[in-house]
A and B are shown apart, each in its own frame.
Chain A
Amino acid sequence: MLWTIAGTSLRETGRRRAALLLVVALPLAFYAARSDMQGQAIRFLAIGVGWAVATLALFSHVGARHLDRRLAVVGTSPTALLIGRQLALIGMGLALAAGYFGLVALTQDVNRLWAVGLLLGTTVLIAAPLGAVVSLVLPRELEGALALLAVMATQMIADPEGALAKTLPLWSTRELTGYAVDPVGSEYLWDGLAHFAVVALVCAGAAWIAAVVRLRPQALPEPEPEPVVL
């Protein structure tokens, strides 16, 4: 069932051509805007990928809300519905990340190129469940998109050393970008990965709880057999 959900979700999202085009274009715009500064360019690219995947996840989950409810009522587990859609989104996100990894490899001479791949991948793994959380809390596309805008814009503007920045979901991209671009020690790598692990766990856990709360049907008892009248 998981793969059926993932497969149909992949086709469904693939048919939203305009949304897909924007998802592909957004990180490119971010990347091109700062291409003169390697570190900034890569960090903004990662945030762009994260934003795009989170928005796609938001649209996918919001669009499927009524259908998922119907499927849950007739016996599909909310967990399978969530994981199936997430698998499709993570697959698309990783394909997008791979494309941009290729672009960076071609256009920039990066100190530790593999770390760019790592940071784009971790961004996707955070963004997909993040979009799901937002969709389950704010069940309409406009409100959800505004919430993501607020989070991502704050992420870009906030002072990276401040306490606020560390509570935002994609703070790890900055540490990992530093590790990839600058000749710094591995503490940047571990700080980044630790932050990623915590955020990914929190997002996935919150998405799962929200999905179960929203989708799980009422447990209704079987009718009592009537007493036999002799």
Chain B
Amino acid sequence: MTDQWHESFARLLVERGVAPGEARRLAADSRDEARAAGLPPAELFGPAAAYAAGIARAARPAPLAALPRARGPVVLRLTGVTKRYRRREVLRGVDLTLRAGEVAAVVGANGSGKSTLLDICAGASKATSGLVERTARIGYAPQQHGTAPYLTADEHFRLFGGAHGMGAKRAVATGTHLAAGLGWRPRAGTVAAQLSGGTRQKLNVVLGELHRPDLILLDEPYQGFDQDSYLDLWSQVYAWRDAGAGVLVVTHLLHDLDRVDHVLELKGAEDR
């Protein structure tokens, strides 16, 4: 019973992105700690899964020393961007100037054109009128269909690495490292269709930041995301910002907006 707890604790740590060597060490520590306290681990630490989640979060390497935040050149500028589908107007006169080292949050009700705006910034969709200027090196993580169901995480890394001129080895190493930052360790041979919704979204996010882009366009994942993953994602957003990237996040859950630099509220077509 006790051994089982320790074994599953070690395994769960690895699944949460802790390096196998360190997971073994942490599991040995917990075993000794429980022995010293004279209590069964389930009583001292609680359920293995919950304890592994807490320890994995605490054990994660602190994000690279927060650089002094500097606002850099403009990486995205929208001037009077409007989008119409036939007669229906989805976006009207959207203006935004986003610099390197800033976060802009796009908020608004469902159907207010948040994802459409993201697609326009990416260049996947054309604005009906208005001007979109943006830097060339972007990362783009759409809300849906961002991954291929029959490919493994490593194959995704190689494919997107190839798109950015990275070698296969470097792409996989970078992808694995970034996944650990979101509390996830890709397992060889598991295709995206077999991942849980939340983990698939983590893969989606990692693919968007693989090559350290100057501008990250992110449709915030929320389906299948637990509270911890959600907080991890936002600390990742601020880490990108501190590393000098501009970040445009479409947010659905109204995360504490006082920390972001710009809030762009879209009113949506229904209100007019």
Contact = CB atoms under 8 A, between A and B. Distances in A.
B123 A218 contact: yes
Contacts of A218: 120, 123-126, 132
A70 B207 CA distance: 10
Main secondary structure on A side of the interface with B: loop
Interface stretch (B51-59, B101-109, B151-159, B220-228): B151-159
Contact of B140 (A4, A8, A74): A74
A140 interface: no
B151 A76 contact: no
A16 interface: yes
Given A4-B159, A8-B158, A71-B160, A220 B140 contact: no
B74 A226 contact: yes
B142 A70 contact: yes
Nearest to A2: B162
Best-surrounded residue of A12, A76, A224 (most CB of chain B within 10 A)? A12
A75 B166 CA distance: 13
Nearest to B77: A223
A24 interface: no
A223 B133 contact: yes
A67 B132 contact: no
A218 B125 CA distance: 7
A220 B151 contact: no
A219 B76 CA distance: 14
B272 interface: no
B133 A73 contact: no
Given A70-B140, A74-B139, A220 B159 contact: no
A221 B133 contact: yes
A24 B260 CA distance: 55
Given A67-B145, A70-B140, A222 B135 contact: yes
Contact of B73 (A1, A63, A223): A223
A8 B134 contact: no
A222 B124 contact: no
Given A4-B159, A12-B151, A73-B140, A66 B133 contact: no
A67 B144 CA distance: 10
A22 B162 CA distance: 32
Nearest to B215: A223
What are the 4 closest A-B residue pairs judged by CB atoms, nearest first?
Answer: A66-B145, A217-B123, A4-B162, A218-B123
Interface of B: 73-77, 120, 122-126, 132-136, 138-140, 142, 144-151, 155, 158-160, 162-164, 168, 191, 207, 213
29 contacts: A5-B159, A8-B151, A8-B158, A8-B159, A11-B155, A12-B151, A13-B150, A63-B149, A63-B150, A66-B144, A66-B145, A70-B142, A70-B146, A71-B163, A74-B139, A74-B140, A74-B163, A74-B213, A76-B163, A218-B132, A219-B123, A221-B133, A222-B133, A223-B75, A223-B133, A224-B133, A225-B73, A225-B74, A226-B74
Interface of A: 1, 4-5, 8, 11-13, 15-16, 63-64, 66-67, 69-71, 73-76, 217-226
Given A75-B163, A223-B75, 4 more contacts: A12-B155, A67-B148, A70-B146, A217-B123
